[in-house]
């Protein structure tokens, strides 16, 4: 059987009989895809998601603002939105760094620390990240090679 990942769950797509060929495989796959699948995925996500992170946009079937950025900038923007990245805290958790201390003196260098508390570089808010404002783009330009 072939497994395909879909919104945090696995959908099983049965293998076709070799005697019936590719047409049957496509027919079976098309029967598994329903027109209401997109709204069902959003409904499942909204039921599951209980985060208070304001930088992440509500799910929809299109890309969020900032999609026109270069790939490296787009990756940095999304790491900041999701509050993940190669911060000292994350590297320490992965056992790639001896401690999670920030060079600015903060006990724990997290993405929130880098976004708003560091004296080095520009600051930006979750709303700036969400809307991909000039402040967010300045932050991205400064931090893209560091996180």
- pTM for the predicted model, two decimal places: 0.59
User: For the chain, what are the domain ranges?
Assistant: 2-48, 71-143
pLDDT at 3: 47
pLDDT at 1: 47
Q: Are 106 and 113 in contact (CB under 8 A)?
A: yes
Question: Which one has a higher pLDDT value, 29 or 80?
Answer: 80
Which has the closest alpha carbon to 85: 114, 108, 106? 114
pLDDT in tens, 40-72: 777 777 777 666 777 777 766 677 889 899 999
Query: Stretch 79-88: mean pLDDT, rounded?
Result: 92
pLDDT at 119: 82
pLDDT at 124: 93
């Amino acid at each position: 059987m072939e497994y395909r990942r879909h919104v945090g769950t696995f959908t099983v797509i049965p293998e076709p009989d070799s005697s019936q060929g590719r047409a049957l495989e496509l027919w079976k796959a098309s029967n598994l895809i329903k027109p209401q699948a997109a709204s069902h995925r959003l409904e499942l996500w909204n039921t599951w998601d209980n985060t208070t992170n304001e930088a992440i946009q509500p799910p929809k079937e299109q890309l969020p603002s900032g999609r026109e950025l270069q790939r490296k900038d787009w990756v940095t923007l999304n790491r900041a939105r999701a509050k993940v990245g190669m911060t000292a805290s994350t590297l320490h958790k992965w056992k790639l760094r001896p401690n999670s201390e920030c060079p600015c003196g903060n006990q724990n260098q997290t993405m929130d620390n880098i976004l708003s508390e560091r004296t080095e570089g520009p600051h930006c808010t979750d709303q700036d990240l969400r809307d991909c404002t000039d402040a967010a783009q300045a932050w991205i330009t400064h931090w893209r090679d560091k996180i």
